A = this chain, B = another copy of it.
Amino acid sequence: MTDAALLYKIAKAYYEDGLTQDQIGKRFGLSRIKVSRLLQQARQSRVVQITITPPPDSFGDLERELEATYGLDEVIVISTPGYAQSEVVPRLGAAGAAYLARILGDQQVLDLSWGTTLLALIDALAPQNLPDLRVVQMLGGLGRLESETYGADLTIRMAQTLGARMRLLPAPGIVSSKIVRDALLEDANIAETLALAARADLAVVGIGAPAPGSVVMQAGILSEQELAELKAMGAVGDIALRFFDENGRPIAHPINDRIIGLDLEQIKRIPRVVGVAGGEGKYEVIRGAVRGRLVNVLITDEITAARLLEEKEPARALQLQA
């Protein structure tokens, strides 16, 4: 038998009056540990109810369910007026910037890949002063070798905005052959940058879903044929040009040997990988990324988030194929 009136008194004294369990014990003639146990009981028996009010216009529970379902550290869901990339991307950028502002401490190494979403993120970033932070380009440049490239540009802008140091990867993201790649990797500067990138505390990456006509194709990074091959091998998209299937498993395609940048295994070893992606056409690749634990933090839109919850189970049948 438990004395409900006593539970009430003790709970009031603890939660409302802020007395310590020891003080309560002395006052009511109980051992400290007994007070502790009675409080446990009070919580279990719902004498003490702890209610947490969700803020309006937020997706707290959706986020929490996604975190639990996919084992993510954090999911941030944003609301969007529509599902088109043009509507989603700026908001993803803003949310990503807010997230970064929250977690960025000094004395960190931050890897950056590239993509339109990350560009939006940097646009939304408020200036800071983090002199001991290093922003590292984790993937070679895009476009032509001789020009200021896309990837380097993002890294430079982010480092400037954050008042941080930077470390560039002076190489193309993708080269013509394994031989060229291996030669470039001999370069001390490139090798050191990649080594540093592999030791990063934090990486901010886009999640790509290449399609004919998308940025990756327009820039001529990938040929139509390569894309077709990758898709035939089960690829749903990429992170930092590393393609993976719908369960996040790497695709073994010769293109991998021509990329200068971290591979998926190295990326997975980074303690916190923040994936920022959403909008039309991204669902499958995002699902692959979270299933494969390629990212720890996901920032996405509400429609994608809802779809991710609807079909939670990894597609076991298709794993055989990968």
Contact = CB atoms under 8 A, between A and B. Distances in A.
Interface of A: 3-9, 11-12, 15-16, 27-30, 42, 46-55, 58, 60, 63-64, 73-74, 76, 98, 102-103, 105, 272
A29 B50 CA distance: 25
A49 B50 contact: yes
Contacts of A54: 8
Contacts of A50: 15-16, 48-51
Nearest to A9: B60
Contact of A8 (B11, B46, B52, B74): B52
Contacts of A74: 9, 27-28
A3 B95 CA distance: 12
Contacts of A30: 102-103
Contacts of A11: 52
A49 B47 contact: no
Contacts of A12: 52, 60, 64
23 contacts: A4-B55, A4-B58, A5-B60, A5-B76, A9-B63, A12-B52, A12-B64, A15-B52, A16-B50, A27-B73, A28-B102, A28-B103, A29-B102, A29-B103, A29-B272, A46-B53, A47-B53, A48-B52, A48-B53, A49-B49, A49-B50, A49-B51, A50-B50
Contact of A7 (B7, B15, B55): B55
Given A12-B60, A30-B102, A5 B272 contact: no
Nearest to A68: B17
A300 to B, nearest CB: 14
A235 to B, nearest CB: 31
Nearest to A7: B55
Nearest to A296: B27
A28 B73 contact: yes
